Amino acid sequence: MIYKNFINNRWSDAEFGKTFDGVNPFTEEIIAQIPASSEPDINNAVRAAQAAFKDWSGLTAGERRDFLRSLANNSRQHAETLAKTISSEMGKPFKDALTEIDDLAEYLEYYSELARDQVGRLVAPVDQKSMSLVQYEPYGVVGCIIPWNYPLSLMGWKLAPALAAGNTIVMKPSEVSSLSILHWVELAAREMPPGVINVVTGFGQEAGETLVKHPHVPIITFTGSVRTGKRIARLAAENLKKVSLELGGKDPVIVCDDVDVEIAARGTCWGGFVNAGQVCTSVERVYVYENVAKKFTDALVEEAKKVKIGDPMDDATDVGPMASMAQLNNAIEKVNLAKEQGCRVLTGGKRSDKYIKGYFFEPTVFDKIKDEMDIVTEESFSPIIPVQKIHSMNEAIEMANSTKYGLGCTVFTKDIERALTAANKIKSGTICINNPLMENIAAPFGGMKQSGIGREHGIEALEEFREVKHIFIDYDYRNKSWWFGDKGGQ
């Protein structure tokens, strides 16, 4: 099937007619032809978004709320269709894909209401007869570059607060999961005013960089790798653009010696292998107290062996295929390098032979880890969990802080002092106690160090998409003593 870009509420071919293949990672079959867009297509989308901005930003917050609620309702109405698209193009189990749609609808509803309440504030005056109003205003056209691993959920992280704040948007989906967003626009956004939401598909250099460099796109929001995030920041700096970057992680789990190791192992297994390890906050390294290390590691290996990999549309499937051949090769390369550097594979470590086709990789657990190994220092974004022994919380904190990343961290312990000591000393945007990968839409999400700039979720996400203006009002209408000329006349 041949798809088109969505610009100004119309379907448009790429200007130069180029396309690329959409591939089902379970069957390895080509399922779509998707526009490989370039500069003319981005320019058309930005013009449409610019033209729509005046009317969209001029609506009341209540009027925008009604549009966002319509998007939420339409998303839920077509949840099964949209979830099937996610499963078919990036391999996520259908039951997990369904949660993306519900999350997206929740984001739209949450920000539709939050933006009605958060429009500005009155601050303390400097004189008796003066007022200082702080007013929040939208930037204009927001460039949204969406990742492939949670295409609709992470689209919602950006789209909902950006639209609620009064901006219009141009989205560039990942080439791996463009269909999910195109289908969503087709099914859910038909009632939106023309030009408010635009979708242009393609590759990073031709489409993504053009969007980042466009002079009429004052803000860029991106989720993806640290390397690409740095590239975006450099390009955006040329025009002093606002950037919001949610980047990679190397999230640790600390397992203390006071826990039920079976519970900790099960939670770690889920945190490391859900979505085939393709989560920015996946469990990517484990530090376990030495006196429970063997028992925990044995339990983790057994949990990993129980994980059911298979057809994304099968309700019994826990983990589907990797999203692309590139992701499968990435997992293979990471494991081969780890073995070369001396790691021991306890389970997994290879492409699954369960199916003749499909980009399946077995859930993998390593031990015999050293601090300097790549499997400890660099993001794998694969179903791979390396396990190291530690002797104290101080050592665990030091090791947790030892990488360039600071996105998330989990601590398994029953000791509140241990838990909060770790939470206070670990440089990470999110700390989870006894439950990995947990988020709260009302609480900020984002990274420290090289894991990102800015925050998503909560009031903080709304702030990312608004500029601040101070309006000073003096209602004591007379000459001032500090002005030049007449000193105190009426």
d(CA 149, CA 102): 16
Of the residues 89, 100, 175, 246, only one is catalytic, namely 246
What is the number of other CB atoms lying within 10 angstroms of the CB of residue 72? 23
User: Strand 452-453 and strand 242-246: pairing?
Assistant: antiparallel
283, 338, 393, 442 from 106: Cα distances, Å: 26, 40, 37, 11
Return contacts of 424-431, CB within 8 angstroms, 24+ apart.
425/397, 425/401, 426/397, 426/400, 426/401, 427/401, 428/251, 428/400, 429/455, 430/281
Element (DSSP H or E) covering residue 85: helix 79-90
407: which 2 tokens? 């996105």
Distance separating alpha carbons of residues 12 and 22, to the nearest angstrom: 18
Nearest Cα neighbor of 166 from 257, 304, 62 is 62
Beta strand 10-12 pairing with 5-7: antiparallel
Which of 269, 280, 409, 432 is an active site residue?
Answer: 280
Indicate if 340 belongs to the active site. Answer: no
Does the annotation mark 280 as catalytic? yes
3-state class (DSSP) for residue 480: coil
How many degrees, rounded to 5, is the angle at CA 339 between CA 334 and CA 342? 130
- Residue 21: in which H helix or E strand, if any? strand 19-23
The set of catalytic residues is 246, 280
